[in-house]
Structure 1
Protein backbone atom coordinates (compact mmCIF):
# COMPACT_ATOMS: atom_id res chain seq x y z
CA UNK A 1 0.00 0.00 0.00
CA UNK A 2 2.80 2.41 0.93
CA UNK A 3 4.76 1.40 -2.16
CA UNK A 4 1.78 2.12 -4.43
CA UNK A 5 1.29 5.57 -2.88
CA UNK A 6 4.99 6.34 -3.24
CA UNK A 7 5.00 5.15 -6.85
CA UNK A 8 1.95 7.25 -7.76
CA UNK A 9 3.48 10.34 -6.11
CA UNK A 10 6.68 9.80 -8.08
CA UNK A 11 4.72 9.48 -11.35
CA UNK A 12 2.73 12.62 -10.57
CA UNK A 13 5.95 14.55 -9.87
CA UNK A 14 7.41 13.35 -13.16
CA UNK A 15 4.33 14.47 -15.06
CA UNK A 16 4.36 17.84 -13.32
CA UNK A 17 7.95 18.48 -14.43
CA UNK A 18 7.43 17.38 -18.04
CA UNK A 19 5.30 19.97 -19.80
CA UNK A 20 5.09 18.97 -23.47
CA UNK A 21 3.25 21.44 -25.68
CA UNK A 22 2.27 21.55 -29.30
CA UNK A 23 2.16 24.43 -31.74
CA UNK A 24 0.25 24.48 -35.01
CA UNK A 25 2.16 26.47 -37.63
CA UNK A 26 0.32 27.99 -40.59
CA UNK A 27 1.48 29.28 -43.97
CA UNK A 28 -0.08 31.89 -46.27
CA UNK A 29 1.11 33.03 -49.70
CA UNK A 30 1.40 36.83 -49.72
CA UNK A 31 0.66 37.36 -53.42
CA UNK A 32 -2.86 35.93 -53.14
CA UNK A 33 -5.72 36.54 -50.74
CA UNK A 34 -6.04 32.90 -49.69
CA UNK A 35 -6.57 31.91 -46.09
CA UNK A 36 -3.65 30.52 -44.11
CA UNK A 37 -3.30 26.74 -44.28
CA UNK A 38 -1.75 24.35 -41.72
CA UNK A 39 1.90 23.67 -42.42
CA UNK A 40 3.18 21.69 -39.46
CA UNK A 41 2.48 20.68 -35.90
CA UNK A 42 5.46 20.78 -33.56
CA UNK A 43 5.73 19.15 -30.15
CA UNK A 44 8.19 20.79 -27.76
CA UNK A 45 9.16 21.01 -24.11
CA UNK A 46 11.02 24.06 -22.80
CA UNK A 47 12.82 21.95 -20.19
CA UNK A 48 14.04 19.35 -22.70
CA UNK A 49 14.74 21.04 -26.03
CA UNK A 50 16.16 17.81 -27.48
CA UNK A 51 12.64 16.32 -27.38
CA UNK A 52 11.38 18.81 -30.01
CA UNK A 53 9.82 16.98 -32.95
CA UNK A 54 7.62 17.53 -35.96
CA UNK A 55 4.37 15.66 -35.25
CA UNK A 56 2.69 16.43 -38.59
CA UNK A 57 3.82 18.16 -41.76
CA UNK A 58 1.88 18.96 -44.91
CA UNK A 59 3.90 20.20 -47.88
CA UNK A 60 2.20 23.42 -49.00
CA UNK A 61 0.67 23.70 -52.45
CA UNK A 62 1.75 27.20 -53.38
CA UNK A 63 0.58 28.97 -56.54
CA UNK A 64 3.27 29.63 -59.13
CA UNK A 65 2.83 33.38 -58.70
CA UNK A 66 3.69 33.23 -54.99
CA UNK A 67 7.20 34.44 -54.26
CA UNK A 68 6.81 35.09 -50.55
CA UNK A 69 4.92 33.30 -47.78
CA UNK A 70 3.94 34.29 -44.25
CA UNK A 71 4.63 31.74 -41.49
CA UNK A 72 3.33 31.83 -37.92
CA UNK A 73 0.60 30.71 -35.52
CA UNK A 74 -2.91 31.44 -36.73
CA UNK A 75 -6.31 31.16 -35.05
CA UNK A 76 -8.90 30.05 -37.64
CA UNK A 77 -11.81 30.83 -35.29
CA UNK A 78 -10.95 34.50 -34.90
CA UNK A 79 -9.22 34.75 -38.32
CA UNK A 80 -6.13 36.46 -36.94
CA UNK A 81 -2.45 35.71 -36.38
CA UNK A 82 -1.71 34.94 -32.73
CA UNK A 83 2.08 35.09 -32.85
CA UNK A 84 4.80 37.01 -34.56
CA UNK A 85 5.03 36.06 -38.22
CA UNK A 86 7.99 35.82 -40.53
CA UNK A 87 8.20 36.18 -44.26
CA UNK A 88 10.12 33.54 -46.21
CA UNK A 89 10.73 32.80 -49.85
CA UNK A 90 8.48 30.23 -51.48
CA UNK A 91 11.69 28.58 -52.77
CA UNK A 92 12.23 27.18 -49.24
CA UNK A 93 9.52 24.62 -50.06
CA UNK A 94 10.68 23.67 -53.54
CA UNK A 95 12.11 20.31 -54.56
CA UNK A 96 15.55 19.58 -53.14
CA UNK A 97 15.01 21.59 -49.95
CA UNK A 98 14.11 20.37 -46.48
CA UNK A 99 12.19 22.82 -44.28
CA UNK A 100 13.70 23.59 -40.88
CA UNK A 101 11.16 25.21 -38.57
CA UNK A 102 12.17 27.43 -35.65
CA UNK A 103 9.88 28.37 -32.77
CA UNK A 104 10.79 31.20 -30.43
CA UNK A 105 9.13 30.78 -27.02
CA UNK A 106 9.18 32.78 -23.80
CA UNK A 107 10.18 31.40 -20.39
CA UNK A 108 6.62 30.12 -19.76
CA UNK A 109 6.62 28.19 -23.06
CA UNK A 110 4.22 30.46 -24.99
CA UNK A 111 5.13 30.79 -28.67
CA UNK A 112 6.32 34.26 -29.65
CA UNK A 113 7.09 33.62 -33.33
CA UNK A 114 7.73 30.95 -35.94
CA UNK A 115 10.16 30.89 -38.84
CA UNK A 116 11.15 28.52 -41.63
CA UNK A 117 14.36 28.02 -43.55
CA UNK A 118 14.82 25.67 -46.48
CA UNK A 119 18.04 23.66 -46.24
CA UNK A 120 19.43 22.14 -49.43
CA UNK A 121 19.36 18.35 -49.30
CA UNK A 122 22.33 16.43 -50.66
CA UNK A 123 21.20 12.84 -51.25
CA UNK A 124 24.74 11.50 -51.01
CA UNK A 125 25.46 13.05 -47.61
CA UNK A 126 22.35 12.59 -45.53
CA UNK A 127 19.36 10.31 -45.17
CA UNK A 128 17.27 12.74 -43.11
CA UNK A 129 15.17 14.50 -45.76
CA UNK A 130 12.14 15.33 -43.61
CA UNK A 131 11.29 18.58 -41.92
CA UNK A 132 13.08 19.38 -38.70
CA UNK A 133 12.20 21.64 -35.81
CA UNK A 134 14.09 23.60 -33.17
CA UNK A 135 12.96 25.69 -30.23
CA UNK A 136 14.69 28.84 -29.03
CA UNK A 137 13.80 29.90 -25.49
CA UNK A 138 13.88 33.63 -24.89
CA UNK A 139 16.30 34.61 -22.15
CA UNK A 140 17.24 37.76 -20.36
CA UNK A 141 20.11 39.51 -22.09
CA UNK A 142 23.37 40.54 -20.49
CA UNK A 143 23.08 43.80 -18.62
CA UNK A 144 25.67 46.49 -19.37
CA UNK A 145 28.37 47.25 -16.83
CA UNK A 146 27.90 50.91 -16.04
CA UNK A 147 30.48 53.36 -14.71
CA UNK A 148 29.84 55.85 -11.96
CA UNK A 149 26.73 57.96 -12.48
CA UNK A 150 27.14 61.49 -13.79
CA UNK A 151 26.69 64.07 -11.02
CA UNK A 152 24.85 67.23 -12.01
CA UNK A 153 24.69 70.56 -10.21
CA UNK A 154 21.32 72.17 -9.39
CA UNK A 155 21.69 74.18 -12.61
CA UNK A 156 21.97 70.95 -14.62
CA UNK A 157 25.68 71.19 -15.41
CA UNK A 158 28.18 68.42 -14.89
CA UNK A 159 30.05 68.77 -11.60
CA UNK A 160 33.80 68.49 -12.11
CA UNK A 161 35.51 66.23 -9.58
CA UNK A 162 38.67 67.61 -8.05
CA UNK A 163 41.73 65.47 -8.54
CA UNK A 164 43.29 64.15 -5.35
CA UNK A 165 46.64 65.49 -4.19
CA UNK A 166 49.75 63.33 -3.89
CA UNK A 167 49.27 62.99 -0.11
CA UNK A 168 45.61 62.00 -0.50
CA UNK A 169 46.50 59.27 -2.99
CA UNK A 170 49.64 57.81 -1.40
CA UNK A 171 49.37 58.50 2.35
CA UNK A 172 49.43 54.79 3.14
CA UNK A 173 52.76 54.28 1.31
CA UNK A 174 54.31 57.19 3.20
CA UNK A 175 53.04 55.70 6.48
CA UNK A 176 54.61 52.30 5.66
CA UNK A 177 57.94 53.93 4.71
CA UNK A 178 57.94 55.94 7.96
CA UNK A 179 57.17 52.83 10.02
CA UNK A 180 60.03 50.91 8.38
CA UNK A 181 62.43 53.79 8.90
CA UNK A 182 61.59 54.10 12.60
CA UNK A 183 61.47 50.41 13.40
CA UNK A 184 64.50 49.29 11.42
CA UNK A 185 68.03 48.94 12.67
CA UNK A 186 68.68 48.11 16.25
CA UNK A 187 71.60 48.53 18.65
CA UNK A 188 75.01 47.34 17.53
CA UNK A 189 77.24 45.46 19.94
Structure 2
Protein backbone atom coordinates (compact mmCIF):
# COMPACT_ATOMS: atom_id res chain seq x y z
CA UNK A 1 0.00 0.00 0.00
CA UNK A 2 2.86 2.36 0.75
CA UNK A 3 4.41 1.64 -2.63
CA UNK A 4 1.22 2.62 -4.45
CA UNK A 5 0.93 5.88 -2.52
CA UNK A 6 4.56 6.72 -3.28
CA UNK A 7 4.05 5.99 -6.98
CA UNK A 8 0.89 8.07 -7.13
CA UNK A 9 2.58 11.00 -5.39
CA UNK A 10 5.49 10.79 -7.86
CA UNK A 11 3.05 10.74 -10.76
CA UNK A 12 1.27 13.80 -9.39
CA UNK A 13 4.59 15.60 -8.90
CA UNK A 14 5.63 14.95 -12.49
CA UNK A 15 2.26 16.15 -13.76
CA UNK A 16 2.51 19.31 -11.69
CA UNK A 17 6.02 20.08 -12.92
CA UNK A 18 5.10 19.21 -16.51
CA UNK A 19 2.61 22.06 -16.62
CA UNK A 20 5.26 24.56 -15.50
CA UNK A 21 6.97 26.32 -18.41
CA UNK A 22 9.73 28.86 -18.92
CA UNK A 23 9.73 31.70 -21.43
CA UNK A 24 12.84 33.69 -22.34
CA UNK A 25 12.08 37.38 -22.96
CA UNK A 26 14.47 39.34 -25.15
CA UNK A 27 15.00 43.06 -25.68
CA UNK A 28 16.32 44.87 -28.77
CA UNK A 29 16.75 48.62 -29.36
CA UNK A 30 14.71 50.05 -32.23
CA UNK A 31 17.45 51.40 -34.52
CA UNK A 32 18.23 51.20 -38.22
CA UNK A 33 21.29 49.07 -37.40
CA UNK A 34 20.13 47.41 -34.20
CA UNK A 35 22.29 44.88 -32.36
CA UNK A 36 21.09 41.33 -31.82
CA UNK A 37 18.40 40.95 -29.16
CA UNK A 38 19.71 40.42 -25.63
CA UNK A 39 18.15 38.25 -22.93
CA UNK A 40 16.13 40.39 -20.53
CA UNK A 41 14.34 37.87 -18.33
CA UNK A 42 13.23 34.29 -17.93
CA UNK A 43 9.71 33.77 -16.64
CA UNK A 44 8.50 30.53 -15.09
CA UNK A 45 4.74 30.11 -15.33
CA UNK A 46 1.92 27.61 -15.25
CA UNK A 47 -0.94 28.38 -17.66
CA UNK A 48 -3.37 26.79 -15.18
CA UNK A 49 -2.13 28.97 -12.29
CA UNK A 50 -1.29 32.34 -13.91
CA UNK A 51 -1.18 34.19 -10.58
CA UNK A 52 1.84 32.15 -9.47
CA UNK A 53 4.16 33.25 -12.30
CA UNK A 54 7.63 34.29 -11.24
CA UNK A 55 10.67 35.95 -12.77
CA UNK A 56 13.44 33.30 -12.68
CA UNK A 57 16.19 35.62 -13.86
CA UNK A 58 16.28 39.29 -14.82
CA UNK A 59 19.10 41.47 -16.05
CA UNK A 60 18.60 45.21 -16.36
CA UNK A 61 19.68 46.45 -19.80
CA UNK A 62 22.64 48.80 -20.10
CA UNK A 63 20.84 52.16 -20.26
CA UNK A 64 23.94 54.00 -21.54
CA UNK A 65 23.98 51.83 -24.65
CA UNK A 66 20.28 52.60 -25.15
CA UNK A 67 20.80 56.39 -25.14
CA UNK A 68 20.66 56.46 -28.96
CA UNK A 69 17.11 55.18 -28.89
CA UNK A 70 14.09 55.86 -26.75
CA UNK A 71 12.22 52.69 -27.68
CA UNK A 72 12.98 49.01 -27.73
CA UNK A 73 11.33 45.79 -28.88
CA UNK A 74 10.28 43.18 -26.31
CA UNK A 75 9.27 39.61 -27.14
CA UNK A 76 10.19 35.94 -27.26
CA UNK A 77 13.16 35.51 -29.60
CA UNK A 78 14.88 32.37 -30.88
CA UNK A 79 18.66 32.93 -31.17
CA UNK A 80 19.10 29.71 -33.18
CA UNK A 81 16.65 30.67 -35.94
CA UNK A 82 17.14 34.45 -35.45
CA UNK A 83 13.39 35.09 -35.53
CA UNK A 84 10.82 36.46 -33.13
CA UNK A 85 8.66 33.54 -31.97
CA UNK A 86 5.87 35.68 -30.56
CA UNK A 87 4.41 39.04 -31.29
CA UNK A 88 6.80 41.72 -30.12
CA UNK A 89 5.78 44.98 -28.51
CA UNK A 90 7.44 48.37 -28.36
CA UNK A 91 8.23 49.94 -24.99
CA UNK A 92 10.03 53.05 -23.80
CA UNK A 93 13.41 53.17 -22.07
CA UNK A 94 11.64 55.15 -19.32
CA UNK A 95 10.16 51.84 -18.10
CA UNK A 96 13.59 51.11 -16.57
CA UNK A 97 13.97 54.59 -15.08
CA UNK A 98 14.32 55.50 -11.44
CA UNK A 99 11.09 55.04 -9.50
CA UNK A 100 9.67 52.38 -11.85
CA UNK A 101 9.44 48.63 -11.43
CA UNK A 102 9.33 46.64 -14.69
CA UNK A 103 6.34 44.32 -15.08
CA UNK A 104 6.62 41.76 -17.87
CA UNK A 105 3.24 40.84 -19.33
CA UNK A 106 3.13 37.48 -21.07
CA UNK A 107 0.11 36.56 -23.20
CA UNK A 108 -0.40 32.82 -23.57
CA UNK A 109 -3.08 30.69 -25.19
CA UNK A 110 -5.06 28.06 -23.31
CA UNK A 111 -2.46 25.37 -23.95
CA UNK A 112 0.29 27.60 -22.51
CA UNK A 113 2.11 28.60 -25.71
CA UNK A 114 3.38 32.19 -25.69
CA UNK A 115 1.56 34.51 -28.07
CA UNK A 116 3.12 37.82 -27.08
CA UNK A 117 5.17 39.71 -24.54
CA UNK A 118 5.13 43.30 -23.33
CA UNK A 119 6.87 45.38 -20.70
CA UNK A 120 5.30 48.04 -18.52
CA UNK A 121 6.99 50.25 -15.96
CA UNK A 122 4.86 50.56 -12.82
CA UNK A 123 5.48 53.53 -10.55
CA UNK A 124 6.84 52.46 -7.17
CA UNK A 125 5.18 53.79 -4.04
CA UNK A 126 7.62 53.08 -1.24
CA UNK A 127 4.90 53.51 1.38
CA UNK A 128 2.83 50.62 0.05
CA UNK A 129 5.37 48.01 -0.95
CA UNK A 130 8.95 46.98 -0.37
CA UNK A 131 9.07 44.63 -3.35
CA UNK A 132 10.70 46.78 -6.05
CA UNK A 133 11.89 43.96 -8.30
CA UNK A 134 10.47 42.96 -11.65
CA UNK A 135 7.18 41.08 -11.70
CA UNK A 136 5.58 38.69 -14.17
CA UNK A 137 1.94 38.93 -15.21
CA UNK A 138 0.41 36.07 -17.22
CA UNK A 139 -2.70 36.66 -19.30
CA UNK A 140 -4.36 33.51 -20.57
CA UNK A 141 -6.52 33.91 -23.67
CA UNK A 142 -10.12 32.84 -23.18
CA UNK A 143 -12.60 31.50 -25.65
CA UNK A 144 -14.73 34.17 -27.26
CA UNK A 145 -18.48 34.29 -27.49
CA UNK A 146 -19.94 31.49 -29.59
CA UNK A 147 -22.29 32.15 -32.48
CA UNK A 148 -25.97 31.37 -32.01
CA UNK A 149 -26.95 28.74 -34.56
CA UNK A 150 -29.93 29.19 -36.88
CA UNK A 151 -30.07 32.90 -36.19
CA UNK A 152 -29.07 35.13 -39.10
CA UNK A 153 -26.52 37.85 -38.46
CA UNK A 154 -27.77 41.20 -39.74
CA UNK A 155 -25.22 43.85 -40.66
CA UNK A 156 -25.57 47.52 -41.56
CA UNK A 157 -24.11 48.79 -44.85
CA UNK A 158 -21.02 49.84 -42.86
CA UNK A 159 -20.49 46.23 -41.74
CA UNK A 160 -21.54 46.69 -38.12
CA UNK A 161 -24.14 44.66 -36.26
CA UNK A 162 -27.65 46.06 -36.44
CA UNK A 163 -29.22 47.03 -33.15
CA UNK A 164 -32.19 44.97 -32.16
CA UNK A 165 -35.50 46.74 -32.78
CA UNK A 166 -37.34 47.65 -29.63
CA UNK A 167 -40.82 46.29 -29.11
CA UNK A 168 -43.41 48.83 -30.28
CA UNK A 169 -46.01 50.12 -27.85
CA UNK A 170 -49.74 49.67 -28.33
CA UNK A 171 -50.10 53.28 -29.51
CA UNK A 172 -47.26 52.88 -32.05
CA UNK A 173 -48.81 49.72 -33.47
CA UNK A 174 -52.49 50.77 -33.70
CA UNK A 175 -52.45 54.57 -34.13
CA UNK A 176 -54.16 54.28 -37.50
CA UNK A 177 -56.98 52.17 -36.08
CA UNK A 178 -57.55 54.66 -33.27
CA UNK A 179 -57.69 57.44 -35.91
CA UNK A 180 -60.36 55.60 -37.93
CA UNK A 181 -62.50 55.01 -34.83
CA UNK A 182 -62.24 58.71 -33.95
CA UNK A 183 -63.27 59.81 -37.48
CA UNK A 184 -66.24 57.42 -37.52
CA UNK A 185 -67.33 58.60 -34.10
CA UNK A 186 -67.15 62.28 -35.01
CA UNK A 187 -68.73 62.01 -38.47
CA UNK A 188 -71.29 59.41 -37.63
CA UNK A 189 -74.66 60.93 -37.14
CA UNK A 190 -76.02 60.71 -33.75
CA UNK A 191 -79.56 59.48 -33.76
CA UNK A 192 -81.99 62.28 -32.91
CA UNK A 193 -84.46 59.68 -32.02
CA UNK A 194 -86.77 60.74 -34.88
Match of 1:21 in 2: 21
1:126 aligns with 2:129: yes
Determine which of 122, 135, 154 is the counterpart of 2:138: 135
SS at the partner of 1:107?
Answer: coil
1:7 aligns with 2:10: no
Query: Structure 1's 149 and 77: CA in aligned 2 closer, same or farther, altered over 3 A?
Result: closer
Partners of 1:28 and 1:6 in 2: CA distance? 49
**Aligned partners of 2:127 and 2:94: how far apart in 1?**
22
Structure 2 counterpart of 1:98, from 86, 101, 119? 101
Q: TM-score, normalised by structure 2?
A: 0.71
User: Which ranges in structure 2 are unaligned for 5 or more consecutive residues?
Assistant: 154-194
* Secondary structure, counterpart of 2:94 in structure 1: helix
- Give the whole-Å Cα distance in 2 for the aligned partners of 1:48 and 1:125: 25
Give the TM-score, by structure 1 length.
Answer: 0.73
Deviation track 1:16-68 (CA, whole Å, cap 9, x = no partner) reads 14411000000001025111001011000011122200010000113212111
Q: Size of the alignment, in residue pairs?
A: 149
Distance 1:56 1:96 in 2: 21
Give me the CA root mean square deviation. Answer: 1.8
Out of 59, 74, 83, which is 1:71 matched to? 74
Q: Which residue of 1 aligns with 2:36?
A: 35
1:96-131 per-position Cα deviation (integer Å, ceiling 9, x unaligned)? 110011111111111010001001112233211000
Deviation at 1:143, TM superposition (A): 2.8
| Equivalent residue number for residue 110 of structure 1 | 113
**Partners of 2:78 and 2:151 in 1: how far apart?**
49
Ranges in structure 1 where 5+ consecutive residues have no aligned partner: 151-189
Shift of 1:134: 1.0
Paired residue secondary structure (1:91): helix
